[in-house]
Structure 1
Amino acid sequence: MKRDLQYYAKKFANLRVDRARGVAPHKPILLLTIIDLLEKGKIHRNEIYLSPELTANFLKFWHRFVSSDHHSNIALPFFHLTGDKFWYLMPNPGFEATIQARVKLRSLSALRSAVKYAYVDPELFVLLQASQSRQELTTILIQAWFPEKESEIAESFKYDEFDFIQQSLFDSGGAIYNVEDLKDEDRIFVRNAAFRRNVVKLYDQRCAFCKVRVVSWDGVTIVDGAHIMPFSEFRDDRFVNGLALCKNHHWAFDHGWFGLDDSYRILIPWDRFMEEAAVESRGMMAFRGERIELPRDRAISFSRGPKDARVSG
């Protein structure tokens, strides 16, 4: 059968969904999310990653369109869409047998460990790149699965949920969460990404320890956003609990190899490690007593003493 627009329109209207507790809306919501991100230019290749952007916008459509008591777990449709014969999973190295055996991966963390990205039929991806066919497939999804929400689709496509969350947190200086806020794995993933990206932005993509700044042409940086006090214990995503560190010094901070005092100076124990600095570079001990690089665009201060200035993630 020719895999044209009519073929995929029929596929989208007849998705294989769980009906044990009413029609499970996960698959059509995921497809709407992908169309939305394509419309916004957030997906450029036939590689669909379980990214914060995908997850946040999946939740956006879920809360606007779903009124049943189903749980909004993006891992379910991301995995089970393979059963509709136009969606495929690219395994991470070492997980080829897991994906081939169709071992069920029900959590976001398990799926992200096993799967690098998903991809669709080349014919479908070509169709999804064209505005007219995107609109037609969107109409099919709405009419087949959410007919009562047809008037809301245009409004839903107007904004990017992850950008909105990230900017809101940046403007407010971050947030402290309660236990109830953190029961949903999808929300935790989005929150964590927004915090880390905001911290990196605040530090101008520069490591606070060694001052290195390396950014690729597409905006990828070697600097991470880290928590000073463990998020698992304090649930503190304010910028005063954030620090931008390159990969090496993030790892060292996570393992307690250095800390900070109240004047933002680097504390390094003498007996924690031994090192040999590479030619023309400075070892960690050379930074002992120096002041870290602080954000330039916003006043920020640590509210805890040196014994507390340790990162746990």
Structure 2
Amino acid sequence: MSDPISHYEELFYDLHTGVVGNHERPHKPAMLLAVMDLIESGALTENLIPFSPELRQRFTFYYDIVRLENDRNTPINPYFYMRSESFWSHVATSGNEAVVRALSSPPTIGKLPALIEGAKLAADLWNAVSHPTQRGQLRDVLISRYFPQHRHLLLNQPVVSCVTKEDEETYQLPGRSAGFRRIVTQVYEHQCAACGLRLRRPDGATIVDAAHIIPFSESQNDHPRNGLALCKNHHWAMDRSLIAPGPDFHWLVSESLDSRQAGERDLIALSNRPLILPKETAYHPLPEALEWRQCRLA
């Protein structure tokens, strides 16, 4: 694999999390952050991750920050169900390989040590998270994607603050996540949320961009609900505050536009048209992101 970091950025961006309504359960990203913290602190030095008190404590640290009221502090669940991700597997204790493979749900905490010696990361992922800069990059993907509203708090914790100034400048480039582009264009079915234009080539090239509603440079929010699929023209117009997706899911247009100009007439015609939204409501834009855009309409 030529670029393992880009590969794992995409995988981390699209974890198989539980979803309740519009809420993605925080357990898997919190577990990965906990693992990286143990590596950074020196508590984890080899590619075998036991279900240790230290791991559970660090998981709980993240969980307590990001949880919602209906979430439950069950670190054994992400530790077990992470095996649905291609980069995580379990090392069974001697003689229990078939038993562990056959498990469809996690064993109790009391029984787990007798069955599972530890979890193991894919070798290239382990090499990446063992390197401070690459570990910081992957941590930033998790926080930007799953916990953007807690970003400042999480990045200023003692163990988490390993991103150097140089690294921060690299990570905070707008649109740096390929996962954001892939998910947003997919859920919008490669169709512009403003005009409905859809064009996709056999090689996968598409006419729409994945546009951040609140720019990534300001929000560090790479969640797909901070995104819209827009054609080049409407992406350009939104970035210049000539049009804005409103909180009621209808388009707003700037009063500065001149109906005497042909190109501007096309934008004015968008006024009060409904956004073309994903079928899955879990990917509908964040209300606070739409309000941010509305307030900045020229």
Q: TM-score, normalised by structure 1?
A: 0.48
Q: Distance in 2 between matches of 1:23 and 1:52?
A: 25
Q: Which residue of 1 aligns with 2:134?
A: 133
- What is the deviation of 1:2? 4.6
Note the alpha carbon deviations across 1:91-113, whole angstroms, 9 max, x for none: 11232112112331153223333
Q: Which residue of 2 aligns with 1:37?
A: 38
Q: Secondary structure at the match of 1:104?
A: coil
Query: Is contact 1:73-1:107 (8 Å) kept?
Result: no
Query: Is contact 1:36-1:157 (8 Å) kept?
Result: no
Task: Mark the runs of 5 or more structure 1 residues left unpaired by the alignment.
Answer: 160-313
User: Identity over the aligned pairs, expressed in percent?
Assistant: 24
Q: Which residue of 1 aligns with 2:15?
A: 15
Is 2:57 aligned against 1:24? no
Q: Secondary structure at the match of 1:47?
A: coil
Counterpart residue type for residue 126 of structure 2: F
Query: Is contact 1:29-1:62 (8 Å) kept?
Result: yes
Query: Is contact 1:61-1:156 (8 Å) kept?
Result: no
Q: Distance in 1 between matches of 2:156 and 2:31?
A: 17
Q: Tell me the C-alpha RMSD between the 2 structures.
A: 1.8
Is 2:95 aligned against 1:91? no
Give 4+ residue runs of structure 1 displaced > 4 Å after superposition: none
Q: Distance in 1 between matches of 2:73 and 2:83?
A: 19
Q: Distance in 2 between matches of 1:3 and 1:105?
A: 33
Q: Which residue of 1 aligns with 2:76?
A: 75
Q: TM-score, normalised by structure 2?
A: 0.50
Query: Is contact 1:29-1:61 (8 Å) kept?
Result: yes
Query: Is contact 2:37-2:159 (8 Å) kept?
Result: no
Q: Which residue of 2 aligns with 1:215?
A: none
Q: Which residue of 2 aligns with 1:107?
A: 108
- What is the deviation of 1:39? 1.1
Note the alpha carbon deviations across 1:108-142, whole angstroms, 9 max, x for none: 22333321001100000000011111111011000
Assess, with a 3 A threshold, how the Cα gap between structure 1 residues 3 and 98 changes in structure 2: closer, same or farther: farther
Q: Which residue of 1 aligns with 2:284?
A: none
Is 2:147 aligned against 1:146? yes
Q: How many residue pairs are counted as aligned between the two chains?
A: 159
Q: Distance in 1 between matches of 2:102 and 2:86?
A: 16
Q: Distance in 2 between matches of 1:110 and 1:20?
A: 29
Assess, with a 3 A threshold, how the Cα gap between structure 1 residues 102 and 3 changes in structure 2: closer, same or farther: farther
Note the alpha carbon deviations across 1:126-165, whole angstroms, 9 max, x for none: 0001111111101100011000011011333449xxxxxx
Q: Secondary structure at the match of 2:19?
A: coil
Counterpart residue type for residue 149 of structure 1: H
Task: Mark the runs of 5 or more structure 2 residues left unpaired by the alignment.
Answer: 161-298
- What is the deviation of 1:64? 1.6
Q: Secondary structure at the match of 1:107?
A: coil
